[in-house]
Amino acid sequence: MVRRSKHRKMGRQQAIVFKLVLAAMLVALLASLLSACTPSEEEPLPEIISLPEDVLYEKNVVGVQRVDTDSDQKEEWVVFYRFDRVENRGPVAALIYDVVVDPTLHLPVVYPHKLRTPHEDYLAQGPPKVQLVDVVGEPSDKPTRKEVLFQTGNELAFFRLTRDPGGPPTDIPPLYRCIGFFRSGDGVSFNEGNFEVTVTSSAGYERSQLVTKHYYRPEADGYFITDTTTLVSPFGSAVDFPAEIPEDILDTPYSEKIVLAFYKTFGKADAKPTILEYLSAQAADEFMQGKLKYGSPWPLGELKFAVVKELSYYPTEDASQSAVVIVKVVFHRATGEKSPLIEVRWTLIRVENQWKMHYSES
């Protein structure tokens, strides 16, 4: 009887311990559930609204930049997104989000401004670089507001404010107006010093891989003719190499490249190759005597530089040994004078497997 009593006592103790463990587990589970529902000091609620995740969640956002686009000393959000997307590729458009006060609500709102290019063309093929430029001057009685430039290697787009950005939130008419838009698959560039835009095109020179470069300057209302989306006329153009004259230019198989390099050497005292290396022995001798006709109305010593405007290649009956290249050139004098467009017809011959300019007609 004593043993049975002892066993019953031990059983009651084990049951009590089990109940205590179970209660502790329930308390722990309840505490974890409450902590998940109630924010703690260690895990505060989010205070940031994400434009890509919360606002433009249906768009393929490819970049967000903070830039003071309206010169109000506060940074806006410039958002780039792709549309017509195929395999993560597609053209890029842009929005500018700004914080403005709604006079009806008396509260700040984040308002979007669409950047519209001429003919609703896309802005760029990829996210462009954003910078502020001052290509259009403001009257002295108005605050300086810089233009917004979007730039890639193949696109340039300039936007200017149309009114004070501090008014009621609206984008009709657009707050940002496009005042210049350039695109070329062969390259565009912007000179920050003089605001000149260079547009490069290889059209017509596919054989020799030369290019034509057109140069633009802003006028009173930017790079468009006032109240239009038509570009102003380029102030200049030139046939050129894509970069510098190639180091191995004398070995080129294209005779027109020799002629172009010859004229680009004018005004460069330390040019390599030298100007004589483009000429045959006969032509070099005439050049040294001042008898070679290369089109200039002024002596060599008075020339500042020459600009090739057009360049044409014509094969001869024996195309491997001779060629004809017609060039149209404008010569610039050191005094500032500029010649009319002058046409020169060159005959080139092969000398030791190199093209040499042999004689000319003008």
pLDDT of 135-154, one tens digit each?
Answer: 987 776 677 789 999 999 99
Q: Which residue has the higher pLDDT, 169 or 117?
A: 117
Mean pLDDT, to the nearest integer, of 13-36?
A: 51
For residues 167 and 104, the answer to whether their CB atoms sit within 8 Å is no
What pLDDT was estimated at residue 42?
62
Residue 177: strand pairing partners: 160
With 0-12 CB in 10 A as exposed, 13-18 as middle and 19+ as buried, what is 64?
A: middle
Q: What b/e readout covers 65-86, taking b as 16+ CB neighbours within 10 angstroms?
A: beeebbbbeeebbbbbbbeeee
pLDDT level of residue 51 (50, 70, 90 thresholds): confident
- Least confident among 36-40, 115-119, 164-168, 337-341: 36-40
Determine the residue type at 281.
A
What pLDDT was estimated at residue 35?
56
What pLDDT was estimated at residue 56?
85
Q: What is the value of pTM for the model shown?
A: 0.80
Whether residue 352 has pLDDT greater than 80: yes
Residue 353, Cα to own-chain centre: how many angstroms?
41
DSSP codes joined into one string, 115-177: -PPGGG--SBSSPPEEEEE--SPPPTTS---PEEEEE-SSEEEEEEE-S-TTSSS--SS-SEE
Whether residue 46 has pLDDT greater than 80: no
Which pairing describes strands 197-201 and 76-82: parallel, antiparallel, or unpaired? unpaired
For residues 141 and 120, the answer to whether their CB atoms sit within 8 Å is no
What pLDDT was estimated at residue 220?
86
Measured from the Cβ of residue 295, the count of other Cβ atoms closer than 10 Å reads 20
Token digits for 37?
């529902």
**Residue showing tokens 């005779």:** 255
pLDDT of 223-236, one tens digit each?
Answer: 999 999 999 999 99
Q: Which domains, and CATH codes, for the chain?
A: 51-240 (no CATH), 249-361 (3.10.450.50)
What pLDDT was estimated at residue 64?
92
Whether residue 24 has pLDDT greater than 70: no
What pLDDT was estimated at residue 20?
46
Mean pLDDT, to the nearest integer, of 287-316?
A: 94
pLDDT of 66-121, one tens digit each?
Answer: 999 998 899 999 999 999 888 778 999 999 999 988 878 788 888 999 999 999 89
Residue 313, Cα to own-chain centre: how many angstroms?
33
Residue 160: strand pairing partners: 177
pLDDT level of residue 16 (50, 70, 90 thresholds): low
Q: Which residue has the higher pLDDT, 271 or 11?
A: 271
pLDDT of 52-64, one tens digit each?
Answer: 888 888 889 999 9
Token digits for 60?
């393929």
* Mean of pLDDT over the chain: 87
pLDDT level of residue 241 (50, 70, 90 thresholds): very high
Residue 263, Cα to own-chain centre: how many angstroms?
30
What pLDDT was estimated at residue 12?
56
Token digits for 178?
């496009």
Whether residue 15 has pLDDT greater than 70: no
Question: In 3-state terms, what secondary structure has residue 302?
Answer: helix
Nearest-angstrom CA–CA distance, 253 and 258: 9
**Residue showing tokens 């380029």:** 234
Nearest-angstrom CA–CA distance, 82 and 100: 26
Nearest-angstrom CA–CA distance, 8 and 10: 6
